[in-house]
Structure 1
Amino acid sequence: MKWKKYRLETTTVAEDLVSAILAELGVEGVEIEDKIPLSEEEMAEMFINIGPTIEPDDGKAYVSFYLDSEADSVAILDVLMAELKSFEEVMDLGSLKLEESLTQDEDWINNWKVYFHSFAIDDVLITPSWEKTNDHKNYRHVIEIDPGTAFGTGKHETTNLCIRALKDYVKPGMQMLDIGIGSGILGLMALKFGATKVIGTDLDEQALYVTKENMEKNHIPIEDYEVLIGNLIDDEQLLKYVGTKEYQIITANIIAEVLVEMMPRVKELLAPGGIYITSGILNEKEELVSTAIRANGMKILEVNHQGEWTLIVATN
């Protein structure tokens, strides 16, 4: 199959925003090019040696992503640009010049795998299926996960923050709702930490298949989870199926503006005394989301940061 590759010129301060909007639109596997020097930790994780950056950081960044050439890419691009334009007054977005080219599946579907290696989050080891490790005895949980084209290996700061919060708040017997389930990693972790049932929603049908594969890899029975496609904000039929006041824990790792719009639904779906774990929030958007949480009668229990990202834990 042929795919269209798009390369968007933006800025280093906006590259995470662009990636987050694309993820919300169901576009995954983005590539980011910039001149920001790699940290020592990032250098240690690379599969090749990379020399020092010759050119100084000029603030420019390029975000590349792929769309099925048969799909309605025009609609996706229109939404992307409209979303970005709404941030023009608060963030330098750069030129937003878009280049287009054509590529084949083999150019990118599997090549990214060389960048994803086993890594640990405290006492949890997360490893791709194609990389075997004998280091199991040093960890409480070993999770095998393949992100496919759905977001979520656990390595991104927002997912990392959510996993640590789940370790603290999941109790045996809890039922969980994961809004934007992606690869299924948060639901999978919750089940490993003691939850008995996970319902996940997503806009991208790919989440159905990737979540199923990852659950099977980790020996999670099919009756312990369910993935539903749709938008809880405006899909009344989905909302009715999901039910109200059933979830002791809800997770949402989505961009801040969507989290704000989602808050009344979260309030409606969270059981009394339940826990709401939310990330995908750029640090400068923390107040926007925390204000929406409080406006819906919920209490913030803690706020954590990692890099440019914020996680908020709240209860009703």
Structure 2
Amino acid sequence: MFGTIDKLYGGICTMKWDKYTIETTTEAEDYISCTLADLGIEGIEIEDNVPLSESDTSKMFIDILPELPPDQGIGYVSFYLEAGEDHSEKLKEVAEALEEMRSYVNIGSGKITSSETEDIDWMNNWKEFFHSFTIDDILIKPTWEELDQADQDKILIEIDPGISFGTGKHETTQLCIHQLRKYMKDGDEVLDVGCGSGILSIVSLKLGAAHLTGTDIDEDCITSTYENFEVNHLSREQGDFYVGNLIDDTGLQEKVGTEKYDVVVANILADVIIPMAPVIPARLKKDGVFITSGIIDFKENEVREAIEKAGMTVLEVTHQGEWVSITARK
């Protein structure tokens, strides 16, 4: 699916999986994760000995952190494919992508090893890693945590990602939220392309959007979005959501509408944003703003060129870690 990108990867049910682990460098972890997503691989796990930052530890409810071995710049990116199937073609694609990646980042050995997992309840076990956090004056809280008294004055977004992407924790989502906070106005019409769990839709409505329209190619994302609307005391009438690919689905383009939106936001992947760029101006009102992220830094120029070629003017490029957000105006 292309839903909201988030480093907490859901969508895996309880069953047996073949686990493939790539030995790499910490420098290349995000590049490899992005590339695996481009190849349609879900269920990605990163292991390394990089010390947690003060920001990371502030979001964890444990008193004593485990002692890690020294960080030697080595990381392991694991992905999961359904057991009992022939994965030779997919592994060949991964190996070819890793070799191509060597031209712009040090991926280390790139060795791939395999093992089989036991049945794991992925749908619930990941919850121990998702805790409340803030972006500016916005508090994003999982539904299973209590609201702290000290956070009562913040704009509250409650999220249960369920079977779709999108906790808001990943840099790309945070970049989009910062830009929505900056460019969105009360009463705006907003289109969320690749809505995922609905987090950017909900943020937009909480910030004063008059109405929200969203799309995703995965029907489960629409279900998850409406569930999160209910959790956040938003009515279904405040958002219209459609299943489909805005790039080439003319029927969906008609449903979404022409010259209707003050803001279009898309937190997807560079390789989706590039072919999508030509259809965005037709969705925007005059002077409407396109906010996009999910762009790994080495694809920044490609995405910028596609946006400019589509006739939009780039207003701002922002970075967080290895990820990029581009904001443009029609």
Q: TM-score, length-normalised on structure 1? A: 0.87
**Aligned match of 2:225:** 211
> For 1:230 and 1:71, how far apart are their aligned partners in 2?
28
**Aligned match of 1:7:** 20
Of residues 150, 154, 157, the one that matches 1:143 is 157
1:23-58 superposed Cα distances (whole Å, 9 cap, x missing partner): 56675553211232222322333344334432432x
Of residues 251, 266, 270, the one that matches 2:280 is 266
Q: Structure 1 residue 292 and structure 2 residue 306: aligned?
A: yes
Of residues 108, 116, 120, the one that matches 2:134 is 120
User: Aligned in 2, Cα 1:87/1:138: closer, same or farther, shift over 3 Å?
Assistant: same
Structure 1 segment 206-285 matched on structure 2, within 5 A: 206-285=220-299
Aligned-partner residue type, residue 191 of structure 2: L
Of residues 103, 109, 128, the one that matches 2:118 is 103
> For 2:190 and 2:61, how far apart are their aligned partners in 1?
37
Task: Report the secondary structure of 1:14's partner residue.
Answer: helix
User: Aligned in 2, Cα 1:257/1:26: closer, same or farther, shift over 3 Å?
Assistant: closer
1:172-224 superposed Cα distances (whole Å, 9 cap, x missing partner): 22221111111110011001111122222223232122111111100111111
Task: Report the secondary structure of 2:145's partner residue.
Answer: coil
Structure 1 residue 147: Cα displacement: 1.5
User: Aligned in 2, Cα 1:87/1:135: closer, same or farther, shift over 3 Å?
Assistant: same
Higher relative contact order (Cα pairs below 8 Å, separated by 6+ residues): 2
Aligned-partner residue type, residue 4 of structure 1: W
Aligned-partner residue type, residue 264 of structure 2: I
1:63-90 superposed Cα distances (whole Å, 9 cap, x missing partner): 2344555999778767666665654433
| Contact kept in structure 1, 2:139 and 2:151, CA below 8 Å | no
- Aligned-residue sequence identity (percent) comes to 45
Aligned-partner residue type, residue 147 of structure 1: P
User: Aligned in 2, Cα 1:25/1:175: closer, same or farther, shift over 3 Å?
Assistant: farther
Structure 1 residue 96: Cα displacement: 5.3
Structure 1 residue 264: Cα displacement: 0.5
| Contact kept in structure 1, 2:48 and 2:71, CA below 8 Å | no
| Contact kept in structure 2, 1:47 and 1:114, CA below 8 Å | no
**Aligned match of 1:56:** 71
Q: Structure 1 residue 32 and structure 2 residue 59: aligned?
A: no
| Contact kept in structure 1, 2:38 and 2:271, CA below 8 Å | no
Structure 1 residue 141: Cα displacement: 1.1
Q: CA RMSD in A?
A: 2.7
Structure 1 segment 55-94 matched on structure 2, within 5 A: 55-57=70-72, 59-67=73-81, 87-94=101-108
Task: Report the secondary structure of 1:216's partner residue.
Answer: helix
User: Aligned in 2, Cα 1:210/1:80: closer, same or farther, shift over 3 Å?
Assistant: farther
Aligned-partner residue type, residue 202 of structure 1: D
Q: Structure 1 residue 19 and structure 2 residue 54: aligned?
A: no
State the number of aligned residues.
314
Give structure 2 stretches of 5+ with no counterpart: 1-13
User: Aligned in 2, Cα 1:73/1:249: closer, same or farther, shift over 3 Å?
Assistant: farther
User: Aligned in 2, Cα 1:72/1:180: closer, same or farther, shift over 3 Å?
Assistant: farther
User: Aligned in 2, Cα 1:13/1:230: closer, same or farther, shift over 3 Å?
Assistant: farther
| Contact kept in structure 2, 1:117 and 1:128, CA below 8 Å | yes
User: Aligned in 2, Cα 1:232/1:98: closer, same or farther, shift over 3 Å?
Assistant: farther
> For 2:17 and 2:180, how far apart are their aligned partners in 1?
37
Which contiguous aligned blocks of 4+ residues in structure 1 show a shift greater than 6 angstroms? 70-79
Q: Structure 1 residue 313 and structure 2 residue 313: aligned?
A: no
Give structure 1 stretches of 5+ with no counterpart: none
| Contact kept in structure 2, 1:28 and 1:149, CA below 8 Å | no
1:228-249 superposed Cα distances (whole Å, 9 cap, x missing partner): 2222223233223223222211
User: Aligned in 2, Cα 1:84/1:243: closer, same or farther, shift over 3 Å?
Assistant: farther
> For 2:228 and 2:84, how far apart are their aligned partners in 1?
28
